Chain A
Amino acid sequence: MWRVAAVVVFLTSLLTMGAGVSWADGGHVGADLHVAQTLGERELTVVIRRTGPRLGPLLVEVVTHAPTTGTLRLSASSPSATTSTGMVELGAVPGVHRVVLAVDKVGPWELAITDGATTARIPFVVPAQVVPPWQRASDFGFGAAGVLAGVALVLALRARRSWMPWVPMMGAVVALSVGMTGAALSAQFPPPPQAGRDVDPSIRAITDPYGQARLNAQAAVGLTRAPLILDLSGAVVAGQPSTVRLNFLDSATGRPADDLVVHHGALVHLMIVSPVGELMHLHPVRVGPGRYEVTVRSSATGVHALAVEAGRRGGGTQQMRASITVQPGAAATRSAPVAPVSDTASGASGEVSVDVAAAGVPSTIRGRFGDDPTLQPWLGMIGHLIVVGPMPPSGDERGEAAAAAPIWSHGHAMPPAAPGAVGGQPDESVATFGPQVDFVYTFPRPGRYLVWVQAERDFTVLTASTEVEVTAS
């Protein structure tokens, strides 16, 4: 009797060690979220480190790119969850500033960052532990096989009829085949639509994405959505920080479109070319559903060309072009046209050289920033390329010409893959790139183009520019 009991206890202990659901499984659960935010006149990168399904601390990092002082107040909130607040002190040295908040529920959350004048609201998702169906099958299969093998052993020792151990034994064989099928197929299945990126982050989409996908499959609708309409407003006065408002609307229904996703490190990219050829690369902050704001300061008056890039949930990004006329301020002066820019803050200058090919043939654009390989990724990329053209021969009204230019491109140089690296792309704390960043770009038409290259060193964004003459092929 005690021998049987000992065998049962031994088998039970083996089973409980491995038959349950492994909470570390389930694949990639959540990732760090890097969002660029131009809050007031500060260019920030907000990093929300991955959290969930284990709830608790939420690490938020605010990266500044210029010497600044002040305090930012952060708060993380979600419907029916506890709001958590914290403060970040910004210092004279640009860099990373950390604060720890707390999340206590899975679901859609919002991080509000305020500098006293503007409040940016960044939506993010605290994911739930999701067990894919094939993992359920493999967990069940192997677990049941173990239980049934134990039952069969006990019956073999104790049963009066010879056929009795066969029942659980054959059951164990069936369970084992179910488990092995589930495990073997686990690599073949595509992931379900992700809440927040592909579909709206409702509670159901976060906690039961496979169930949500099954419900959506009955409706046979795709993931993509109608294009965005950009509704631009705001008066900009030269020499003063002015607020420009960008309202994004759904073009099919006219309603506010509050489903923008982070792409290339920001919810919205705004590029502005001033009448003297100066480039501003800003990231409007979300202040309400579908409503974005950015602070613009330009020393030049006249027409400024704008290009806005944003993407909705369900895939695809769009570029919207607009222009804004800056009114003269109290003491307005026309600045001289800008030559290749050197960044005076860090003393490092950048220059752009282009191996120009004919129109329609790839050209190589090289941005060189000093001699040290100490560039950092900005917005996840080690270099940013902006090309606008064809433009008329050099003149004063670059903004108006840029607004009318048919080509406005925004490209990137990716960080090289580090052998054996895990955990995704390097963030701004890695400063081992450059000093040269290369791009391959095909100028579509012959003519004169303005070319800018941006990179980052010592947490400061560097911009270099040049003009290129492209001949017909």
Chain B
Amino acid sequence: MKVQLRAALPVLAVLLVGGLFAWLFWSGSPTTAVAGSQANVGPYVVRLSTDSVQRGVVELTFDITDGSNKPVEPEKVSVEPTMTQMGHALIPVRATPSAPGTYRAQVDFNMSGQWDITVRITSGDEMHEAVLSVTVVN
């Protein structure tokens, strides 16, 4: 009994230290949610709910409000995804409203990395573009 307890000491020590290490070290992991991204353009404030998505077909959800946080409903909202570092762009996608001020668009992120999402808001004769940043992970 005593020998078994003595042999278990280093194991206990490693478990204790390992537990503390995991708690302190991994609290800064990259999958921690960052509060989305936001861009102000003209009279609009465009907010994307998340800035990190999985590779493949993704439904992006974003909110468009005015300066005082009231939802707005412009005539046409479309999404133009571009991967600037690789120098290629995807076909623009029309965003559909799911709730006042909330829009959804399906985008096929075919490559992981940093993507720029240009939200083009058209209302009458006016057109505004807001650029948001999204990281696509494997």
Contacts and interface: CB of A to CB of B under 8 A. Distances in A.
Nearest to A176: B17
B85 A225 contact: yes
A216 B35 CA distance: 19
Given A79-B45, A207-B34, A223 B85 contact: yes
B24 A221 contact: no
A144 interface: yes
Contact of A221 (B25, B85, B129, B131): B85
B98 interface: no
A200 B116 CA distance: 9
Given A79-B40, A200-B133, A219-B136, A253 B88 contact: yes
- Point out which of B5, B17, B111, B116 has the most chain A C-beta atoms below 10 A from its C-beta: B17
The binding surface of chain B is classed by DSSP as mixed
Interface string A114-153: 0000000000000000010100110110001000100000
Given A79-B38, A133-B25, A208-B30, A171 B17 contact: yes
Interface in B98-138: 111-114, 116, 118, 129, 131, 133, 135-138
A252 B82 CA distance: 10
A472 interface: no
- Point out which of B6, B86, B88, B136 has the most chain A C-beta atoms below 10 A from its C-beta: B86
B51 A202 contact: yes
B32 interface: yes
A164 B116 CA distance: 57
B51 A204 contact: yes
Nearest to A166: B9
Contacts, number: 134
A208 B6 contact: no
A223 B85 CA distance: 7
Nearest to B46: A79
A163 B9 contact: yes
B133 A202 contact: yes
A212 interface: yes
Contacts of B13: 166-171, 173-174
B85 A208 contact: no
Nearest to B80: A255
Contact of B135 (A168, A215, A226): A215
B34 A225 contact: no
Nearest to A257: B84
Q: Which 8 A-B pairs have the closest CB atoms?
A: A252-B87, A211-B30, A219-B113, A170-B13, A202-B133, A219-B112, A226-B87, A79-B38
Given A79-B45, A171-B17, A226-B87, 19 more contacts: A79-B40, A80-B38, A140-B24, A148-B16, A163-B9, A166-B9, A167-B13, A168-B16, A171-B13, A200-B114, A203-B37, A204-B135, A210-B28, A211-B28, A214-B30, A215-B52, A219-B113, A221-B113, A222-B85
